[in-house]
Structure 1
Amino acid sequence: MRHTLPIAPQFYVTAPQPCPYLDGRMERKLFTALQGDNADKLNDSLSQQGFRRSQNVLYRPSCAECSACLSARIDVSQFRSSRSQRRTANRNEDLARRATSPWASEEQYELFRTYLDSRHAEGGMADMDVFEFAAMIEETPIRSRVVEYTHKETGDLIGVSLTDVLSDGLSMVYSFYAPDEPKRSLGTYMILDHIQIAEEAGLDYVYLGYWVPGSQKMGYKSKFSGLEIYVGGRWQKMTSPEEFTADMHPLSNDPIAEQVANIHLPDTRPTR
């Protein structure tokens, strides 16, 4: 009988390209493939170490001279809604939530295009066609859901979140929403609703992706209580956003080989 030994994930680095968050800076990512029978374990482990999923890839910023991007998550047990957030929840009481399998629809793509054209016309996704959109939604080797928000009366789709279910929380992989209703604060509302979903499911965290000091696009994330950020190889409570700066220094990040050596991989050996 032939036995195949498990192969450890191989890590790679992307070529530098313009940073989408801070003008004048270049970004670089450390990434690995997400595949095989142990994809869920790998996704759980690396998500807890600041990685994010994009289809069948897990990645984490690894810029040569910048350490501004900080992975962020909300500790559900420590979250307390602010007065402004409660008003946001009340303004969206006319919306219904529907969680489905990760399957793309034309209605989702139309909303996605409207959102991009309004908010991120110059971003890296600006040219994404319907087939690439379908791949973003459907190509997932782990437990994922599409969470849709619709008007209770009209049934119109107003917001969508592609959400991964981790062992310890929910990871909001990508969200988009109707840009013509700014008073709803839909980005904030969908996070509030995911906090509620996580609490009801007994999950500890809601992973939000990256928070970048100095980036207006990311400023709303720092307004959630119970926020933790991944710094120096561990999660830390954010007490004040002003304590963090978009650091840029030749010694900001460890060499790639050292970064990879410090990544903790899950134990995928079969149990007896």
Structure 2
Amino acid sequence: MSNPTTTRTQDLRFFLTAPHSCSYLENKEAITLFMDPEQPINQDVYSALSLMGFRRSGQHLYRPHCNNCKECLSVRIPVEDFTPNKTQRRLFKRNQYLTVNNLQASFVEEHYLLYERYIAARHQDGDMYPPSREQYASFLTHNNEFSRLIEFRNGAELVAVAAMDELSHGLSAIYTFYSPAPEHAPLSLGTHAVLWQIEQAKSLGLPYVYLGYWIERNRKMAYKTLFRPIEYLEGRSWQRLIDCS
């Protein structure tokens, strides 16, 4: 008998975009493969496609499909084997006073205002600048059954939000935004959010945390390989990344 999830993914329709400017590497063109947006996303199909390197952005499941370029590597953390380094252990322990709220994804004005500050402070050179409520809502607040927004608060103050999807075999870290205020820099909130998701995956008995794509030449992605061990997708199989120097 065939696997029902496999059958469903085989029946899906996919499309390719026209070549467009790469968001990660200068002077490069990118092509994206994406699932038919008319097809509803459910957890089973999403989980199966994540094993093939797909990510979610809003209502789109996609992966790079570029000609003559294989620099985007889908990466994930095998949580049972993960060993935090000394800095990560110290950070996670120091931040235990932060309170965490695990919410179903939806638009919250307080979240958006933090996102707006974050993008304006840290990503003015990116394609999400200038931020808008419409762009934010379409990116992070679709109320899918598997989509969560994780709040991190210092008392009543919202300092970070991590958008996260619950897959059948792991958690997918979609995006994290946090306070750009100088007094919050020592909290390393982006790193803390990943460490929290690793612990959450362990508590749920899920084997992986997916971190999206890693490009060795893109310095903004360097943080991903600080979580060890980490695996990358090569062809149809996941391999341990041994040397990322």
Q: Which of 78, 81, 93 in structure 2 is aligned with 1:78?
A: 81
Cα deviation 1:1-33 (Å, max 9, x = unaligned): xxxx99921111112222222222122211113
Change in CA separation of 1:37 and 1:119 when aligned onto 2, cut-off 3 Å: closer
Aligned to 2:90: 87
Q: TM-score, normalised by structure 2?
A: 0.90
1:137 corresponds to 2:140: yes
Q: How well do the aligned residues superpose, as a CA RMSD in angstroms? A: 1.9
1:156 corresponds to 2:160: no
Aligned to 1:191: 194
Counterpart code for 1:25? K
Q: TM-score, normalised by structure 1?
A: 0.81
Change in CA separation of 1:179 and 1:30 when aligned onto 2, cut-off 3 Å: same
- Gaps (5+ residues) in structure 2? 1-7
Q: In the alignment, is the contact (CA less than 8 A) between 1:54 and 1:136 conserved in 2? A: yes
Aligned to 2:110: 107
Counterpart code for 1:213? E
Deviation at 1:188, TM superposition (A): 0.9
Which stretch of the first structure deviates more once superposed, 170-179 or 71-80?
Answer: 170-179
- Gaps (5+ residues) in structure 1? 243-272
Aligned to 2:176: 175
Q: Which of 11, 15, 19 in structure 2 is aligned with 1:12?
A: 15
Of all paired residues, the percent bearing the same amino acid is 36
CA separation in 1, counterparts of 2:92 and 2:31? 37
CA separation in 2, counterparts of 1:220 and 1:7? 35
What is the correspondence of 1:1-272 to structure 2 with a 5 Å cutoff?
8-33=11-36, 39-151=42-154, 154-180=155-181, 181-242=184-245
CA separation in 1, counterparts of 2:76 and 2:205? 16
Cα deviation 1:151-195 (Å, max 9, x = unaligned): 0xx311111111110000100111111122222211111000000
Counterpart code for 2:126? G
Q: In the alignment, is the contact (CA less than 8 A) between 2:33 and 2:64 conserved in 1? A: yes
Give the count of matched residue pairs: 236
Counterpart code for 1:171? S
Aligned to 2:4: none
Cα deviation 1:212-247 (Å, max 9, x = unaligned): 1111100010011121111122110111113xxxxx
3-state DSSP class of the match of 1:157? strand
Counterpart code for 2:139? M
Deviation at 1:128, TM superposition (A): 3.4
